[in-house]
Amino acid sequence: MVYNPNSVVNYTFSFDDFTFTRKLAAGITAADVGKAVEIDTSAAGQVKLATDDAVVYGRLETFEDRGNGLLVGAVSRKFLTKLPLKAALAGLDAVAVGDTVVGAGAGEVKALNDGAAKTPDETINTVIEVGDDFVIVEKL
């Protein structure tokens, strides 16, 4: 998408009251900042990169390796910002404004397709803009 200085800014709004430190699953790196995460049920208070069809719990904002295998990061539970879009989506999996997204693996997202014709659920999240390799998601 081409930058237009006269357009409305749709992303990178943080809600600090809804950003929390979480333990990160093994394998997450600084390169994963900005990706979607889900609850990791293998440990208390831990998140992992969003897997295929997972509910998006939040967005990884920071990464810190505290040594001895302890990885932590700030996770936004409410946000209005970019999430990486799974490449080569088409047909029913294509994402459109107004859709709800779920995990697509590796922290990327795709449109929710639960057999109900991509019915958006604003209590989870709502896509407000679609780019070439990202979507702007509002999760409130």
pLDDT single digits (tens) 35-81: 999 999 999 999 999 999 899 999 999 999 999 999 999 999 999 99
53: Cα separation from own chain's centroid: 12
How many domains is the chain built from? 2
Q: Residue 72's CB: how many other CB atoms inside 10 A?
A: 17
Would you say residue 5 lies in a domain? no
- Residues 88 and 64 grouped into a single domain: no
Give me the domain span that covers residue 111: 80-139
- Residues 44 and 84 grouped into a single domain: no
**pTM, 2 dp:** 0.88
**Closest residue by Cα to residue 104 from 48, 52, 32, 39:** 52
Final residue of a structural domain among 77, 92, 123: 77
- Residues 93 and 130 grouped into a single domain: yes
Which band of pLDDT confidence, cut at 50, 70 and 90, is reported for residue 123? low
Spell out the alpha helix ranges (H) of 6-133: none
Would you say residue 6 lies in a domain? no
Final residue of a structural domain among 34, 55, 77: 77
Dihedral in degrees, nearest 10, Cα atoms 79, 74, 106, 116:
-30
Q: What is the arrangement of strands in the sheet containing 134-139, beginning at the earlier edge strand?
A: 13-14, 79-84, 134-139, 126-130
- Residues 29 and 63 grouped into a single domain: yes
